[in-house]
Amino acid sequence: MNKEEVNVNTYETFKEAKMAIFEFIESWYNNTRIHSSNGYITPNQKYAEYLKSIA
Protein backbone atom coordinates (compact mmCIF):
# COMPACT_ATOMS: atom_id res chain seq x y z
CA MET A 1 0.00 0.00 0.00
CA ASN A 2 1.13 3.51 -0.65
CA LYS A 3 2.34 5.26 2.47
CA GLU A 4 0.75 8.56 1.45
CA GLU A 5 -2.62 7.68 2.98
CA VAL A 6 -1.35 7.17 6.50
CA ASN A 7 1.53 9.65 6.44
CA VAL A 8 -0.51 12.69 5.44
CA ASN A 9 -3.61 12.07 7.53
CA THR A 10 -4.38 12.05 11.23
CA TYR A 11 -7.08 9.76 12.57
CA GLU A 12 -9.09 10.18 15.74
CA THR A 13 -9.97 6.48 16.09
CA PHE A 14 -8.83 3.13 14.80
CA LYS A 15 -12.20 2.70 13.07
CA GLU A 16 -11.71 5.98 11.20
CA ALA A 17 -8.21 4.93 10.09
CA LYS A 18 -9.41 1.50 9.04
CA MET A 19 -12.21 2.98 6.92
CA ALA A 20 -9.93 5.55 5.28
CA ILE A 21 -7.35 2.90 4.41
CA PHE A 22 -10.05 0.59 3.06
CA GLU A 23 -11.42 3.37 0.85
CA PHE A 24 -7.91 4.21 -0.35
CA ILE A 25 -7.22 0.60 -1.32
CA GLU A 26 -10.58 0.19 -3.04
CA SER A 27 -10.07 3.34 -5.10
CA TRP A 28 -6.44 2.52 -5.94
CA TYR A 29 -6.86 -1.14 -6.89
CA ASN A 30 -8.66 -1.87 -10.15
CA ASN A 31 -11.09 -4.76 -9.64
CA THR A 32 -11.99 -4.95 -13.31
CA ARG A 33 -8.49 -5.29 -14.78
CA ILE A 34 -7.48 -8.78 -15.88
CA HIS A 35 -4.51 -10.36 -14.13
CA SER A 36 -2.15 -12.99 -15.49
CA SER A 37 -1.88 -14.55 -12.03
CA ASN A 38 -5.65 -15.20 -12.14
CA GLY A 39 -5.61 -16.85 -15.53
CA TYR A 40 -6.41 -13.56 -17.27
CA ILE A 41 -9.69 -12.98 -15.48
CA THR A 42 -10.63 -10.08 -13.24
CA PRO A 43 -10.26 -10.26 -9.47
CA ASN A 44 -14.05 -10.08 -9.21
CA GLN A 45 -14.44 -13.07 -11.53
CA LYS A 46 -11.83 -15.01 -9.56
CA TYR A 47 -13.65 -14.28 -6.31
CA ALA A 48 -16.98 -15.37 -7.85
CA GLU A 49 -15.37 -18.64 -8.94
CA TYR A 50 -14.02 -19.14 -5.43
CA LEU A 51 -17.45 -18.58 -3.88
CA LYS A 52 -18.99 -21.13 -6.27
CA SER A 53 -16.29 -23.66 -5.41
CA ILE A 54 -16.97 -23.51 -1.69
CA ALA A 55 -20.78 -23.55 -1.97
pTM of the model: 0.46
CA angle 11, 27, 17 (to 5 degrees): 15
What is each CA distance from 44 to 32, 36, 38, in whole angstroms?
7, 14, 10
Print the domain residue range for 33.
Answer: 4-54
pLDDT of residue 6: 67
- The count of domains in the chain is 1
pLDDT of residue 1: 47
pLDDT of residue 53: 96
Q: What is the pLDDT along the chain (55 residues), one digit of tens a residue?
A: 456 666 667 889 999 988 888 888 777 777 777 778 878 888 889 889 999 999 8
